[in-house]
Amino acid sequence: MNRFSACAVVGLGLLAAPFATPSTAGTASAAKQTLQVFAAASLSEAFRELAHGLEAARPGLTVRISLAGTQQLVAQLEQGAVADVLASADERWMSYAKAQGLVSGEPVTFARNRLVVIVPKSNPARIGKLQDLSRGGVKIVIASDAVPVGHYSRTVFRNLSRAEGFPSDFATRALRNVVSEEENVKSVVSKVQLGEADAALVYRSDVTPAVARYVRLFEIPDSANVIASYPIALLKDGPAHDAAKAFIDLVLSADGQRVLEQHGLMPVAANAP
């Protein structure tokens, strides 16, 4: 092998090295540590704030939060992604992760969330009440069935079909109005925020102040609503075990629960501030 090709091979190796082994850099020195949190997209704002809190309390610690639809996070973990904490938007995917041997210990429910209907401020389809969602031609966007919120949305439609004042074929007609099944709740929100969809089902916590400027919100009666439970758990293969425990403790603490509540989530009763 001559110099040119040797250089090329070494060059390729150097290029690839930092990407191939990201975790060794984090564990090499004890002072600097990285905590990798996989969290449901609906937790974005609350978890970012909690992460900053933990970073401030533990110098040298960097908290990296990967936000996506829970189903996508679990799929990544199954394919060998390394993380320390999983915060899921439903129990279905958490039990699945547990059955796959990804989780260490018992998952703990740390928050609840409820669904709401949002429409653009301009309200192009003139939605005035939930019943209007089944009117022909209304463009509804929900998440796909694999996404926790998408699964809940379908349940809400079915519940409303049985509710007083709603036609019994409400669910069928509302589902016929669905024009797109998004892959996480934030994409659902953006379709309404941009005014492309007439209505969407999202979590209450997704209507952040930034979003609220663009949308109008309709509450779903408790009797027909789904209350989502958010479990959190340590992951078996995570290298930053202590920091992961500290993060979960923070989430469950009175302070943590207050942060969650400020971001539109419902604190769990036992730890409620």
Site of interaction with other proteins (CB under 8 A): 1-2, 4-6, 8-9, 12, 69, 71-72, 75, 122, 124, 139, 141, 144, 146, 178-183, 191, 194-197
Tokens of 95: 């039990």
Specify the residue, 53 or 195, whose C-beta has the smaller distance to other proteins.
195
- Three-class DSSP labels, 13-46: HHHHHHHHCHHHHHHHCCCCEEEEEEEEHHHHHH
> How near is the Cβ of 252 to other proteins at its closest, in Å?
28
Specify the residue, 2 or 29, whose C-beta has the smaller distance to other proteins.
2
> How near is the Cβ of 179 to other proteins at its closest, in Å?
4
Specify the residue, 41 or 63, whose C-beta has the smaller distance to other proteins.
41
Nearest CA-CA partner of 91 in 152, 45, 141? 152
Do residues 86 and 233 touch, judged by C-beta distance below 8 A?
Answer: yes
Specify the residue, 140 or 259, whose C-beta has the smaller distance to other proteins.
140
> How near is the Cβ of 177 to other proteins at its closest, in Å?
11
Do residues 179 and 144 touch, judged by C-beta distance below 8 A?
Answer: no
> How near is the Cβ of 225 to other proteins at its closest, in Å?
25
Residues 6 or more apart whose CB falls under 8 angstroms from that of 145 comprise 151, 154, 181
Do residues 112 and 257 touch, judged by C-beta distance below 8 A?
Answer: no
Dist CA 34 CA 32 (whole Å): 7
Specify the residue, 113 or 177, whose C-beta has the smaller distance to other proteins.
177
> How near is the Cβ of 229 to other proteins at its closest, in Å?
20
